[in-house]
Amino acid sequence: MTVPNTSEKKPFLYVVVCACGIAGNVGKLITAAQERQWDVGLVTTPQGLGFLDTQAIEAQTGYPIRSAWRTPGEARPLPPADAITVAPATFNTVNKWAAGISDTLALGILCEAYGMDIPTAVQPYVNSAQAAHPAYRRSLDQLREMGVVIGSYEPHKPKAGGGADRFRWEEALELLEAKVS
């Protein structure tokens, strides 16, 4: 019988969560990632914080949730990321990220990830009115050009309650695993 090497360091995944109605279900992604042998740390936008059960997530990951920059003397709360997924991603954060705006910690991490060659995936959760905006299409093109892999969720109708049942939380893991060996 082979004894599993439990001391082997697992790859570390940052899950970046934005302020979407379905953000509260991110525990599904954390569970799926842990089952696939990732260690997970959660970063949220300040707006996203209000959508999350922070105690439950911190218990699940074993790490503090990050939503703001640390003070200069403070130790880094999370290990460095081997990969990043943004799920769910808002219209707002997708556009700001593509434009290089870094006014939240989440955006700061995402903007730097490109220059650090960290494999990154994004699963936008937007409605068709948001998706029709020319800036959004340009943003996705820009992110693709930067090597970001983009989820397949088809935008839901505006004011129609969304498509939470169609949002495949584990898709980002499938997309990233091809890039992280």
| 147 vs 158, beta carbon nearer ligand FMN | 158
Task: Give the C-alpha separation, 53 to 22, whole Å.
Answer: 12
HSE-CB at 173 with a 13 A cutoff on CA atoms is 19
Instruction: Convert residues 10-39 into a mask of x (bound to ligand FMN by CB under 6 A) and - (unbound).
Output: --------xxxx------------------
The identity of residue 145, as a single letter, is: E
Task: Give the C-alpha separation, 162 to 110, whole Å.
Answer: 26
Q: Which of 85, 90, 120, 123 binds ligand FMN (CB under 6 A)?
A: 90
Contact 79, 11 (CB under 8 A): no
Task: Give the C-alpha separation, 97 to 100, whole Å.
Answer: 5
> Is 153 a residue that touches ligand FMN (CB under 6 A)?
no
Contact 80, 44 (CB under 8 A): no
> Is 139 a residue that touches ligand FMN (CB under 6 A)?
no
Task: Give me the helix-helix angle, 54-61 and 27-35, nearest 10°.
Answer: 0
> Is 95 a residue that touches ligand FMN (CB under 6 A)?
no
Among the listed residues 133, 143, 125, 167, the one whose alpha carbon sits nearest the alpha carbon of residue 84: 143
> Is 125 a residue that touches ligand FMN (CB under 6 A)?
yes
| 41 vs 155, beta carbon nearer ligand FMN | 155
Q: Which of 45, 67, 120, 123 binds ligand FMN (CB under 6 A)?
A: 45
Size of the site for ligand FMN (CB under 6 A): 15
Minimum Å gap between C-beta 118 and ligand FMN is 20
| Local structure of residue 50 (DSSP, 8 states) | T
Minimum Å gap between C-beta 99 and ligand FMN is 13
108: CB partners within 8 A, 6+ apart = 69, 102
Q: Which of 67, 92, 123, 139 binds ligand FMN (CB under 6 A)?
A: 92
Q: Which of 42, 122, 126, 176 binds ligand FMN (CB under 6 A)?
A: 126
Q: Which residues bind ligand FMN (CB under 6 A)?
A: 18-21, 45, 47-48, 90-93, 104, 125-126, 130
